[in-house]
Amino acid sequence: MHGALECLRTYALITQDTVTAPLRMHALTARAVRETVPDGALAITTRIAADAITNLWPRHDHEERELAALLRANVVHLDQLTRPALWESTTHPCIYAVSRSLTEAGLYQQAIEHDENTVRLTSSILGSNHPHTLVALGALVRTISGMPLGLRNAASWSIRRGI
């Protein structure tokens, strides 16, 4: 395993800032990996990658802000490249981790936009009566209720207009 990682580093296909930092893969390497995953395996491979991202998430984002930002970006990118894999049968927990992380970082507008998008996607992919659509609405309510009072009043229109 170490030999394989060293070979990838030698050709600049992966990087790692410190020994304990997550590995970063060059975009072309990532594309080559994606293009070799058989069609039938894409959904499960995506969910396994999402599980790994979720397991890396720090307990409190303020303790590792850079890592939290990197993980948020990775979830969004993974979802964009593989949709609807993170939404099939259930919404993957990493989607809600992004919401919580944005709120903890004080990025309220981005959190609301993410939650509104989550409600739209959950409703369109799983159905408006699916339990995860209600969970998505709950996440939006949690985001708004976690905001400072002055911002909360301005943001509550999302709920009133029904997303």
161 vs 86 pLDDT, higher one:
86
Residues 147 and 99 in one domain: yes
Instruction: Give residue 84's pLDDT band: very low, low, confident or very high (50, 70, 90).
Output: very high
Pick from 117, 104, 112, 113: which is nearest to 141 by CA?
112
Residues 18 and 71 in one domain: no
Residue 12 lies in a domain: yes
Residues 115 and 150 in one domain: yes
Number of domains in the chain: 2
Residues 15 and 75 in one domain: no
Residue 32 lies in a domain: no
Residues 144 and 111 in one domain: yes
Percent of the chain with pLDDT strictly greater than 70 = 91
Distance CA 142, CA 136 (A): 10
Residues 12 and 78 in one domain: no
Is residue 145 over pLDDT 60? Answer: yes
Distance CA 78, CA 72 (A): 10
Is residue 157 over pLDDT 60? Answer: no
- pLDDT tens by residue, 89-108: 899 999 999 999 999 999 99
14 vs 98 pLDDT, higher one:
98
Residues 46 and 16 in one domain: no
Residue 49 lies in a domain: yes
Mean pLDDT of all residues in 50-55 = 95
Pick from 88, 95, 49, 51: which is nearest to 72 by CA?
95
Instruction: Give residue 158's pLDDT band: very low, low, confident or very high (50, 70, 90).
Output: low
Residues 84 and 52 in one domain: yes
Give the bridge partners for 24, in sequence order: 15
Question: Lowest mean pLDDT: which of 26-35, 65-74, 105-114?
Answer: 26-35
Is residue 11 over pLDDT 60? Answer: yes
Helices 93-104 and 65-82, packing angle to 10 deg: 140
Residue 70 lies in a domain: yes
Residues 20 and 77 in one domain: no
Q: Which domain holds residue 1?
A: 1-26
The residue type at 25 = M
Mean pLDDT of all residues in 24-47 = 88
Residue 31 lies in a domain: no
Residue 17 lies in a domain: yes
Residue 125 lies in a domain: yes
Instruction: Give residue 153's pLDDT band: very low, low, confident or very high (50, 70, 90).
Output: low
Q: What is the mean pLDDT of the chain?
A: 87
Phi and psi for 7 in degrees, rounded to 5?
A: -65, -45
Residues 87 and 145 in one domain: yes
Instruction: Give residue 75's pLDDT band: very low, low, confident or very high (50, 70, 90).
Output: very high
Q: Where are the beta strands (DSSP E) in 6-161?
A: 14-15, 24-25
Residues 9 and 45 in one domain: no
Residue 128 lies in a domain: yes
The whole model's pTM is what? 0.82
Residues 44 and 120 in one domain: yes
